[in-house]
């Protein structure tokens, strides 16, 4: 089973020992595991040292390494590139895809995100909010010109959590938990993007000017509600924790153990993300008329 490794604190030394990943602190080995077993490495803290050999091994095994700021927001990511012999073909495909086709892709992504948000609300609330968002999903136009994503997000978060305002600063425990969970989901999308030979800097919607991973931030959107689902299910627990303890992070890391559903077939989270990203490639190349999105709830 793939593991999400959270390394939080000071004076950690990340290296390769016996060809495996090793974490040492104050001359004592704290962790030793196979690179093949790692889904994501998340770093949060000061004075964390990583050797060049360890970096090369992470790249070789396509293990994303996420660097987080004090609010658990990703501030950077180590990601392998040019990992397939079709990278050049995929690059040309991304560059040459007509703008109307890209806008259609964004329309489908936002429609699916809104539907997933509505499904999560339907699971936890008895009001009409889920139906409102279901209706919004039907009204998304090419390129989401009427910005249903933003309108839907306001309705969604107001009804999912009480006394809550969504922001990326992570100043409260719920926002911090969402930030951390989204970072895990983002790493799974990143792995699938590079494995599919796509350039993560060529976006569908997000700005390319200051974000080298904007395609990843586009393709993650339908799966944010999967993180919201975990946080909502454990909301009482998180509010008692007040900060992201190792136990809280473990709850969020369970995301990679969840399933995604394509019709009647269940896929592991990572395999489902890869199937979805490959479907995006098929849509760009006009092999299919629509992107194949999995469901987060059966």
- 203 and 140 in a common domain: yes
β-bridge mates for residue 32, sequence order? 22
- Residue 80 domain-assigned (yes or no): no
- 110 and 176 in a common domain: yes
- 192 and 128 in a common domain: yes
Burial class (CB in 10 A: 0-12, 13-18, 19+), 67: middle
- Residue 294 domain-assigned (yes or no): no
- 128 and 216 in a common domain: yes
CATH code at 115?
1.20.120.920
- 38 and 143 in a common domain: no
- In total, the chain counts a number of residues equal to 298
- 106 and 52 in a common domain: no
- Residue 74 domain-assigned (yes or no): no
Total domain count, the chain: 2
Which pair of tokens denotes residue 227? Answer: 């993180």
- 154 and 99 in a common domain: yes
165-211 pLDDT, tens digit each: 888 777 799 999 999 999 999 999 998 998 888 999 898 987 666 77
- 212 and 108 in a common domain: yes
29-80 pLDDT, tens digit each: 999 999 999 989 999 888 899 999 999 999 999 899 989 887 767 788 888 8
Q: Helix or strand or coil: residue 297? A: coil
- 274 and 189 in a common domain: yes
Q: What is the pTM of this model?
A: 0.87
E-strand spans in the chain?
3-8, 12-17, 20-25, 28-33, 38-44, 49-50, 65-68, 74-78, 259-262, 265-268
CATH code at 15?
3.100.10.20
Residue span of the structural domain in which 255 resides: 87-284
- Residue 69 domain-assigned (yes or no): no
Burial class (CB in 10 A: 0-12, 13-18, 19+), 222: buried
């Amino acid at each position: 089973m793939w593991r999400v490794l959270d390394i939080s604190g000071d004076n950690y030394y990340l290296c390769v020992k016996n060809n495996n990943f090793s974490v040492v602190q104050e001359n004592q080995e704290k962790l030793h595991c196979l690179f093949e077993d790692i889904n994501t490495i998340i770093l949060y803290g000061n004075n964390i040292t990583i050797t060049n050999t360890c970096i090369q091994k992470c790249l070789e095994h396509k293990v994303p390494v996420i660097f987080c700021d004090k609010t658990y927001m990703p501030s950077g990511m180590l990601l392998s590139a040019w990992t397939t012999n079709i990278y050049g073909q995929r690059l040309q495909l991304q560059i040459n895809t007509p703008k109307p086709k890209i806008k259609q892709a964004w329309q489908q992504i936002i429609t699916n995100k809104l539907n997933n948000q509505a499904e999560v609300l339907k699971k936890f609330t008895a009001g009409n909010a889920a139906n409102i968002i279901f209706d919004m999903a039907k009204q998304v136009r090419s390129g989401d010109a009427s910005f249903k994503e933003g309108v839907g997000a306001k309705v969604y978060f107001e009804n999912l959590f009480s006394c809550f305002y969504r922001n990326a600063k992570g100043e409260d425990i719920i926002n911090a938990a969402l930030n951390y969970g989204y970072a895990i989901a983002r790493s799974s999308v990143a792995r699938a993007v590079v494995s599919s030979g796509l350039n993560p800097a060529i976006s569908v919607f997000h700005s390319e000017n200051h974000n080298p991973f904007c395609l990843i931030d586009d393709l993650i959107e339908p799966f944010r509600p999967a993180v919201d689902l975990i946080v909502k299910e454990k909301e009482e627990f998180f509010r008692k924790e007040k900060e992201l303890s190792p136990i809280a992070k473990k709850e969020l890391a369970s995301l990679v153990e969840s399933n995604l559903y394509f019709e009647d077939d269940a896929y592991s989270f990572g395999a489902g993300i890869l199937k979805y990203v490959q479907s995006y490639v098929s849509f760009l190349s006009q092999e299919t008329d629509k992107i194949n999105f999995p469901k987060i709830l059966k």
